[in-house]
Amino acid sequence: MRRFLCFFFTSFLCLSLEARPIVFAPLPFFNTNKVLEDFFPMVNYLEEGMDENIAFHYEKKYDDLIAAFKANKVDIAYFGPLPFLALQKSFPSALPIITFHESDGAKGYRCALVKFAGDTLSDIPTKKLKVALTQPLSTCGYTKTKVLINTYLHSNLDTMLYRYVGTHDEVGLSIVRGDFHIGGMKESIAKEYTSLGLEIIDTTPLIPGFSLVVNTQTLSTEQIAKIKAILLSTPKEVYEKWGKDISYGMSETDLKMFENLKSDMESFTIPHSGSF
């Protein structure tokens, strides 16, 4: 009987493990509908190539996505460079394998410091400057905006009035509306709002592109190799029909590109709430 029960529970466990799909999580700066529109074609292509089911897992905050990944509830995630470094710092089993290219073919992107065209920042006392940021763990949020403000304005972000407004789009819109004087956001998204009066006043050097990060605790070496092989051999006519941010090609992740960002991250503590 004991042998039978052991066999039964072992078989049940195996069936349970086999029934669990691979879980994919996108980066949480899209709304839910945008997630499906942008990522479903890629996930479906990967699902067919691997002959395994892949389920979506959506979180609205970076912290929650990182927590889900560390709890082994997520097997593959689409991460920006700073959230990835924050994850890997406490969870070394996170491994970036694929980096998506920008529209110009670059393997990285830039963060931009923006304001409304025509506004003169020098007329406003530093301590009264209102700064719009994305999220604490957004690469173009506190971390790179602090660097840009120091470079461009020779001032310290910590002495200003800053607030986390959520998405890159909301940073741009909040400045166009006049709610904030300046803000930090991804350059490619900022360019979409220049017709509304948004002006890019400075940018960072190239930052590592957004990557697919796999969980080496939940995926086998064979599965990871297969994911990488499928994506790197994807024909252009296929991936150019995926979501805008993943439709310009991809390459194997170069971990050396993260070194400068890692230095920025370790030089100060990122506050998790705004100053006003």
Q: Which tens digit of pLDDT belongs to each residue from 261-274?
A: 888 888 889 999 99
pLDDT of residue 264: 85
Task: Return the closest-CA partner of residue 131 out of 149, 117, 147, 118.
Answer: 149
Per cent of the chain over pLDDT 70 is 92
At a CB cut-off of 8 Å and minimum separation 6, what does 155 contact? 126, 129, 149
Min mean pLDDT across 20-29, 68-77, 149-158 is at 20-29
Write down the pLDDT at residue 3: 41
pLDDT band, residue 9 (cuts 50/70/90): very low
pLDDT > 70? residue 8: no
The pLDDT of residue 215 is 98
pTM score over 0.85: no
Mean pLDDT, all residues of the chain: 90
Structural domains of the chain in order of their starting residue, each with its CATH number: 19-106+208-266 (3.40.190.10), 114-204 (3.40.190.10)
Closest CA to 101 of 261, 239, 224: 239
Predicted confidence band at 76 (pLDDT cuts at 50, 70, 90)? very high
